[in-house]
Homo-oligomer: A and B are copies of this chain.
Amino acid sequence: MREVAVIGAGMIPFGKYPEKTLADIAWPAVKHAIEDSGLKKGEIEAAYCGTALGGMMAGQRILKKLGITGLPIVNIENACSSSSTAFREAFIAVGAGVYDAALVIGTEKLTKFGGGTLPLEKEDWEVAHGLVMPALYAMRARRYMHEYGLTEDQLAKVSVKARMHGALNPDAQFRDPVTVEQVKNARPVADPLTLFHCCPSGDGAAAVVICSGEKARQHTTAPVKILGSEINSGKYLTGYRDMTSPEITVRGAAQLYEESGVGPEDVDLAEVHDAFAIAELLYYEALGFCEKGEAAKLLEDGETSIGGRIPVNPSGGLLAKGHPIGATGVAQIVEVVRQLRGQCGGRQVEGARIGLTHCTGGGVSGFDHGVCSIHLFGR
């Protein structure tokens, strides 16, 4: 596998666009990414489109809007990890020399479902009995509180940080800061989670252009190299016995760090999959940013805020930037690319040289329909 780099990144502000089609939502992000790359449309040799619920031929419908056709177009679904999986497939194909440059799109239009918890597979008997995502994360939060003494104030501070970062991101769905009291007093969703502990539903799109390292150096003096890529599947959590340990993230991170030679101590910023506030704390530990049980301290010490030792979700994360499922994986990459380039203005992580994206999801039945993808980037 040869060196591969990201040379173009674009996205639209996440939000609610009920009047637009999926293709209408996504094409501006693609156009932005291609323009940012400096490549001509004809130099894009393949496209990978990640969407969980976007319907048939999503990539083809989007690219038609830009007059891009003829090339291989692959549509990929992997729940919340749809576009991070698409990114990995493109990375493999460019790394193998099959293509010199490829486009990766992530997009979703959730407003078509009218809001609320998404339609999940009824084959999942736990879902059929009410164990939808907010309920699952509420149980994990209660367990973590029991095991490690997390307080409701500490849990609320995850959302406060997310909104503080989101307020600095023009592409975030929520840009109003909130207080601990506001988070705690928001409408209850699944005890102890309130509305502000849960990521919003919405629409969005993000896109990146990747190419061989050699081609990247022809177009930019600041390519963002892909240092590692890891995808796995398995248990969404370890099971009822230990709901606080996201097994696939622990395993994926260990493999990625070993293969890349980069350790958690080398990571300057991370975009992690904070679909619910408790998740971010679990992932601090699973990704090795702190020891088990130390996540709340890391947060309260400000280490994961912009300006801290390891800023997490400077974009605002899923809680503030939004979580249009298939768009999230690539949107995380867009943020890391912009951070490593120093393009993030008020939310810039100073001197960032290595960034990590972590995207995980899946169904809950038997807790083993999970998928986890982690990527490392460096400049």
CA distance A83 to B310 in the complex (A): 41
Question: Interface majority SS on A: helix, strand, loop or mixed?
Answer: mixed
CA distance A4 to B366 in the complex (A): 35
A92 contacts chain B at the CB level, 8 A cutoff: yes
A363 contacts chain B at the CB level, 8 A cutoff: yes
CB-CB contacts below 8 Å: A47-63 with B = 52-53, 55-58, 60-61
Which residues on B sit within 8 Å (CB–CB) of A152?
Answer: none
Measured CB to CB, the closest approach of chain B to A173, in angstroms, equals: 22
Interface size class of A (residues with CB under 8 A): 35 or more
Stretch of A67-75, A198-206, A297-305 on the interface side: A67-75
A126 contacts chain B at the CB level, 8 A cutoff: no
Measured CB to CB, the closest approach of chain B to A248, in angstroms, equals: 9
CA distance A76 to B79 in the complex (A): 12
Which residues on B sit within 8 Å (CB–CB) of A76?
Answer: 74-77
Measured CB to CB, the closest approach of chain B to A76, in angstroms, equals: 6
Q: Choose among B64, B95, B96, B235 the residue that contacts A366 (Cβ–Cβ < 8 A).
A: B64
Do A60 and B1 form a contact, CB below 8 Å, given A74-B76, A76-B76, A89-B74?
A: no
A245 contacts chain B at the CB level, 8 A cutoff: no
CA distance A107 to B116 in the complex (A): 30
Which residues on B sit within 8 Å (CB–CB) of A52?
Answer: 56
CA distance A73 to B89 in the complex (A): 11
Stretch of A226-234, A271-279, A349-357 on the interface side: A226-234
Q: Is the CB of B72 within 8 A of A233?
A: yes
CA distance A70 to B98 in the complex (A): 27
Q: Is the CB of A121 within 8 A of B363?
A: no
A288 contacts chain B at the CB level, 8 A cutoff: no
Measured CB to CB, the closest approach of chain B to A106, in angstroms, equals: 14
Which residues on B sit within 8 Å (CB–CB) of A88?
Answer: 72
Most chain B CB neighbours (cut-off 10 Å) among A21, A22, A75, A232: A75
What are the 5 tightest A-B residue pairs by CB atom distance, in nearest-first order? Answer: A96-B96, A72-B231, A75-B77, A60-B369, A73-B233
Q: Chain A interface (Cβ within 8 Å of chain B)?
A: 1, 21-23, 52-53, 55-58, 60-61, 64, 69-79, 85, 88-89, 92-93, 95-98, 120-121, 123, 231-235, 251, 362-363, 365-366, 368-371
